[in-house]
Amino acid sequence: MKQAGLSVFQDTAANLIGRRTGRNRRLTPIWIGSHTDTVKNGGRFDGTIGVIAGIEIARVLKDNHLILEHTLEIIDYTAEEPTEFEISTVGSKALAGNLSDDMLALKDGGGRILGETIREYGGDSDTLLQAARNKGSVKICLELHIEQGPVLETAGNILGAVSGIVGIRHFLVKVKGRADHAGTTPMTQRLDALAGAAEMILALEKISSRRPDPASCVGTVGRITVSPNAANIIPSSAELNFEIRTLDGQLLETLSSSFTLACRDIAARRDLTLELATLSPTDPVFVDPGIVNLIKKACTLATDHCQEIASGAGHDINQLACFAPVGMIFVPSRKGRSHCPEEYTDPRSIAIGTEALLNTVLEINKRTPA
């Protein structure tokens, strides 16, 4: 960031910000940002390319002695991916004023507290509220990201102008049964927490497969912890992370209720104890059609191969949309793979995406009356 001529600082939520001051200081800043944290065993491109694209745009402006009307801020948002503290998009939640005291008090498995960890990374949980932005205080939040799915590659396109981003409901489910001997306890007398949890997993699969269009709704259990996790003991407890995603806010509510009901029925039928907590919900976001069109034009200047696309992945934009207009550009993911070691995007596509992002910034700047 410094080499690209940016002045660099962190806000109280540890978001890393590089600023290039614009000509007209009364204008609100244009933001370009993404994240540099990753998921387990993946994520070399997920997030990172968006931060690097922003820095590259700052470098191009510097090298060409171009001063925008607006101040440009390149942001590496704190902890976008799910954290050890069960919540994701930590930095952008703070910017949206959605990081509550309860969230700051969350502990990870080792007993570390989220608020203190933010401080360790350069933020300050005591003054965290200062990170929150008012509505209208940012001109637009832009992000370049990998698609993380197969749509662009299948269509032979290089760029996607994002029209909407899914909403997500997360559930932390604890199923409690009773540990017993795996050889001597008759099948009719068991309180098997894992067998109950398995039924809940299949219930989620069924509930989220109800829609004919598979891309419009998905449900996943990505994590399960079983106790005591021994081959010859009937599991006494299972803890699972469930999530449901769709672009349709109403459907998200309906499916969440169906899932909750199914869990309660399964637990009651099996005499298991159920604790079901909902973790910070994310609502679907629709990009303003005027912005989608502006971005499509900016993409067309960089390549003929572009289309509109919906995002099945969640992004910081879901939070940022609470206080500013948003826009996103996608580049293809090879074989649609992401959140795995095979995640890859051709550097030429990233360069074309970066060019489209620069075109977007220049167009927004041009439309601002001097």
Asked if 219 touches Mn ion (CB under 5 A), the answer is no
Asked if 81 touches ligand GLV (CB under 6 A), the answer is yes
Minimum distance, C-beta of residue 338 to Mn ion, in the bound complex (Å): 7
Task: Please state, in angstroms and rounded to a whole number, the distance separating the CA atoms of residues 172 and 279.
Answer: 7
φ/ψ bin of 79: left (φ > 0), alpha (ψ from -120 to 50), beta (otherwise): left
Tell me whether residue 122 is exposed, middle or buried, using C-beta atoms within 10 angstroms of its C-beta: 0 to 12, 13 to 18, 19 or more.
Answer: middle
From the list Mn ion, ligand GLV, none, pick the one residue 29 interacts with, judged by a Cβ distance below 5 to 8 Å according to partner type: none
The residue count for binding ligand GLV (CB under 6 A) is 3
Q: Which of residues 266-325 bind ligand GLV (CB under 6 A)?
A: 313-314
Tell the residue number behind the tokens 């009364």, with chain if given: 26
Q: What are phi and psi of 214, to 5 degrees?
A: -65, -25
Minimum distance, C-beta of residue 81 to ligand GLV, in the bound complex (Å): 5
With respect to ligand GLV, which residue has the nearer C-beta, 46 or 69? 46
With respect to Mn ion, which residue has the nearer C-beta, 262 or 344? 344
Q: Which of residues 198-217 bind ligand GLV (CB under 6 A)?
A: none
Tell the residue number behind the tokens 């799910």, with chain if given: 82
**Nearest CA to 44 among 331, 345, 351?**
345
Cβ-closest position to ligand GLV: 313
Contacts of 182 (CB under 8 A, 6+ apart): 231, 232, 233, 234
With respect to ligand GLV, which residue has the nearer C-beta, 235 or 314? 314
With respect to ligand GLV, which residue has the nearer C-beta, 29 or 167? 167
Contacts of 297 (CB under 8 A, 6+ apart): 359, 363
Per-residue x/- marks for Mn ion, 43-72, CB under 5 A? ---xx-------------------------
Residues lying near Mn ion in the complex (CB under 5 A) are found at 46-47
Using CB under 6 A, list all residues that contact ligand GLV: 81, 313-314
